[in-house]
Structure 1
């Protein structure tokens, strides 16, 4: 699954054929389910709900055009959480067996390696002792970082780019040496991955001297993963989901997804989450960002964030990231909330995510070929339209509709209120569906694609997931944490030690620890 749009889905309890049948397999790449290890079980997807009856391609095309309008409003959510969400998605859907060359792998390890747990496999691969994953490390405990290239007054800097440089061709040299190449498909997620590398390395370096050398990586990883999970549970999820839903799931347990599963069972990935609910982040993307001192006031356009990556772009023609594109994290995260007003962004330069709703910004109408695995298509071709790709993928999987999921949740005792016809068709300052015929509107109102339904719910809840969407997201994260080798769900006594107190650890706290609380590291180009 190295690029969006190149997945195939083999769903537990169905057949061995990619969901959607042979035509679906031809329409997508098998990269997501192929492995260099043979034989290898496919990535473990599952369904929460029943199969649905999709809308016509014509309807989905019209809906996709309506969704990408270039309009929409900002929210109070700092923009960094958009790309933290993308990083989380890649962690959940990472296939660790794709970076393992060793043959001494037990069936249990193989299964675990191809299963969704929130354990940072996309950062660690199979660990420093694995023959293939060793290339992600500088020694038996530290992850490798890259060096930027000097440009103008901005000197080359160590530790501010992903590691690169393997191979002879320019394309090979710019390819990031990380477990999951998707984390280099735009500059914002690439810089997030770089920050996570720094976080791990600093945890390693601050472990007590009494920890034996052979145990330092294992101890550091467990500490990193639990703090990361705490941040997701207490900082990320409440920013995107209705708080009462998150609290209910983490205190009272799951009601719709893998209910009663043994904590030792390997988790699965529900397609309702992967293909619909957690694509919420697509609506949070801005068309432009105040990126750093060199690119303020929206000069960091989304197109440029794609260009200065190694998967969707070509790093601006270089083989390493130019120093003038190093991220100013102050502009993406609210450090004043963490008691550091000295690290607040310059006035007017804070970036806020777009509201979670049924609108996507215009650049997502024409994705760069590298971000979805090709082939190259003409300008304004629906195949490059992110909304169309999401709706088409769901149709290929015959994903449950929003109405079917609401009914299932009601039957399971979850207090959700189904959206009305008027709410689905009219929304609140979201996608306008006037181009649909009366018959197409009738079909949409009764068989709403789950992704659209979830976004409409959020749109009607001031930009936070509610109802069906909030429940799917919260329960999937709960199960992914529960099934991780290090788990705050199982270890209920865990409390963070790297934040300001034993109950607080936010993304800002993670960054402060990773960058030693220093402005010159969080923002090396200066004010």
Structure 2
């Protein structure tokens, strides 16, 4: 009998053959609990209602509540494009083990990339091991030039997206998706695809300009190093200041590291990968203005936007109707804002097609938050209280610490109760959710809380969410700093590519450096 193939986004605990699994789960292969080499003690991991079946019923009600809550009246203080830059960054931290992206026989044995934050998400294993992602042009540098997708007339010169070609097989081998990219997840929506295209563009421009290298392989290595450094400059100097509490970011810039196993293992902490990183879904707008040529410049529903991918709408790409993003609408002073941090996911995204198995969709609503909550159930993350105890000493002496949600169970329970409200569907689990909230939910509640409660005031992650985000990112930069930021040739090469000032520190400035007509030929 042919086994049932579940869609890639279906968490293991929601599969019909795993509904009676006991909780807490252990982190899956390639993952671990933060602050631990492998998994934490069972008592420190979140156990929900004790079984996957009972917990899923609770999480389904909670997901509906998150979708039904009214959105915050304010907007985020940063442009909408940073939501998708963060998504691209997360792709560069770890592989996916989804079966629709990697067939079962080809799923990587290690879920975390061995070269983190080094743009492996566009470079793959390099031109020798992944030549299908290279070969743009017909000159001696072609084997080292990344393939890219162009747009038609009327689009800013130099704007790029992911390559699509009938001669380049996608990772899954799906004939309906002629995508030629090292990471198929970058085709999840047109914005992240064109963020990937921007860094592909950067590599190719650097490869052309670094003509002081006579050997093509050395020239490739130098161009990749410049692109990696520029990417990390944007992440640490532009993105993270918008996501992390200033006190937490300053401590990590000065060298604080608490997840010491991160320096010794490639396994990623599930508290980040399966919980806090998913809080970015709350930042997604219900609609976006994409460009003046899409819907006459008017905003379109986010559900329509995420349908516009090579996999979901292959005819549009085959016929040259791909949408080119107007970057000024996503980065810079004129950009539309992201949604604020809050325990709410807009309904248009929450119930977008393809998020749950067909058999579950009629019985369950709020598909995206349910999927996100269930991912945390699958992975056995640390309980909020256990996670907070590992970092409590870092905040010793901070005035009002007894009111911070991460460190005080009473205030934390009150904040959770405020989110649950009088929702009758959640009445059976009100007490257990207040005592032990899922980390994904807590990260959003803490982010929305006032700063004097350890929160982010709706502007950024709170204290605990900031720490869980900072740990894997700073560990990734530490691990490869010697070959990127500290390489003796980087300063000269960056000046050759960008000018005397070196790599731009902001995404809007990087776009401006790469899109103008003077750089049109790449």
Shorter-chain-normalised TM-score: which range?
Answer: 0.7 to 0.9
Q: Which whole-Å CA distance do the structure 1 matches of 2:175 and 2:364 have between them?
A: 30
Alignment of 1:145-294 (within 5 A): 145-148=148-151, 160-166=160-166, 172=175, 174-258=177-261, 261=263, 265-294=264-293
Q: Give CA-to-partner distance per residue, 1:22-66, whole Å, 9 cap, x none.
A: 82899xxxxxx9xxxxxxxx5454443632222432321221111
8 Å CA contact retained: 1:308, 1:314: yes
Cα deviation code 1:426-449 (max 9, x no counterpart): 469967463355552211111011
Is the 2:156–2:515 contact (alpha carbons within 8 Å) kept by the matching residues of 1?
A: no
* Cα distance in 1 for residues equivalent to 2:174 and 2:120: 25
Q: Map residues 461-472 of structure 1 onto 2, 5 A cutoff.
A: 461-463=456-458, 464-472=460-468
Deviation, 1:141, is: 1.8
Q: Is the 8 A contact 1:291 1:299 kept in 2?
A: yes
Q: Could you tell me which of 408, 424, 428 is aligned with 1:435?
A: 424
**Cα separation, 2, equivalents of 1:225 and 1:168:** 25
- Residues 11-160 of structure 1: matches in 2 within 5 Å? 23=18, 43-48=30-35, 50-55=44-49, 56-69=55-68, 71-72=71-72, 73-94=74-95, 114-115=113-114, 117-130=116-129, 132-138=130-136, 139-148=142-151, 160=160
Shift of 1:176: 1.5
Give 2:436's aligned residue.
Answer: 447
Aligned to 2:9: 5
Say whether the 8 Å CA contact 1:52–1:401 is kept in structure 2.
Answer: yes
Change (3 A) 1:453 1:74: same
Match of 1:473 among 469, 476, 480: 469
Comparing 70-79 and 109-118, the one that deviates more: 109-118
1:62 and 1:436 in contact (8 A); partners too: yes
Contact 1:256–1:412 at 8 Å: present in 2 too? no
Measured against aligned partners, the alpha-carbon deviations of 1:217-269 in whole angstroms (never above 9, x if no partner) come to 1111111111211211111001011122112012122023537x3xxx45321
Counterpart secondary structure, 1:227: helix
Task: Report the Cα distance in structure 1 between the residues aligned to 2:150 and 2:421, rounded to whole angstroms.
Answer: 46
Provide Cα deviations, 1:451-497, integer angstroms capped at 9, x if missing partner.
11111111012221121110010111001112237666766997665
Q: State how far apart, in whole Å, the 1-side matches of 2:383 and 2:210 are.
A: 49
Structure 1 residue 353, shift from structure 2 partner: 0.5
CA contact (8 A) 1:289 1:296 kept: no
- Output the CA distance in 1 between the equivalents of 2:202 and 2:20: 39
Following the alignment from structure 2 to structure 1, what is the Cα–Cα distance between the partners of residues 282 and 133? 35
Q: Matches of 1:135 and 1:197 in 2, distance apart?
A: 11
Does the Cα contact within 8 Å between 2:225 and 2:484 map onto a contact in 1? no
CA contact (8 A) 2:31 2:267 kept: yes
In 2 relative to 1, CA 67–129 (structure 1 residues): closer, same or farther, beyond 3 Å?
Answer: same
- Partner of 2:90, secondary structure, is helix
Deviation digits for residues 158-199 of structure 1, max 9, x if unmatched? 863321122699963643200111110111111111111111
State whether residues 229 and 485 of structure 2, in contact with CA within 8 Å, keep that contact through their aligned partners in structure 1: no
Partner SS for 1:352: coil
CA pair 518-512 structure 1, distance change in 2 beyond 3 A: farther
Match 1:403 to one of 352, 361, 385? 385
What TM-score, normalized to structure 2?
0.76
Cα pair distance change 1:227/1:286, threshold 3 Å = same
Q: Residues 232 and 367 from structure 1, CA distance in 2 versus in 1: closer, same or farther, beyond 3 angstroms?
A: same
| Kept in 2: contact 1:425–1:433 (CA 8 A) | no
2:76 match: secondary structure: strand
Residue deviations 1:82-118 (CA, integer Å, cap 9, x gap):
000110111111269x999xxxxxxxx9979843611
Q: Distance in 2 between matches of 1:499 and 1:158?
A: 18
Residue 206 to residue 112, structure 1, CA distance change in 2 (3 Å): farther
- Please give the per-residue CA displacement for 1:395-422, whole angstroms capped at 9, x wherever unaligned: 1222222222112322676777325545
Distance 1:52 1:112 in 2: 21
Contact 1:230 1:488 in 2 (8 A): no
Say if 1:220 and 1:45 are closer, same or farther in 2 by CA, change over 3 A.
Answer: farther
1:341-396, Cα deviation, whole Å (9 max, x unpaired): xxxx4xxxx31100011111111221321xx5x63357565376111111112112
Q: Corresponding residue for 1:394?
A: 376
1:293 deviates by 0.4
> What is the SS of the residue equivalent to 2:144?
coil
**Structure 1 pair 502–142 and aligned structure 2 pair: CA distance change class (3 A):** closer
Change (3 A) 1:229 1:135: closer
**Which segments of 5 or more consecutive residues in structure 1 lack a partner in the other structure?**
9-17, 27-32, 34-41, 101-108, 337-344, 522-527
- Counterpart check, 1:363 vs 2:358: no
Contact 1:383-1:389 within 8 A present in 2 as well: no
What is the aligned length?
Answer: 462
Q: Matched residue of 1:470: which SS?
A: helix
TM norm structure 1? 0.76
Say whether residues 1:506 and 2:488 are aligned partners: no
SS for the counterpart of 2:179 is: coil
Gaps spanning 5+ residues in structure 2: where? 1-5, 22-27, 50-54, 103-107, 137-141, 450-455
Residues 95 and 115, structure 1, Cα contact 8 Å, conserved in 2: no
Distance 1:500 1:296 in 2: 40
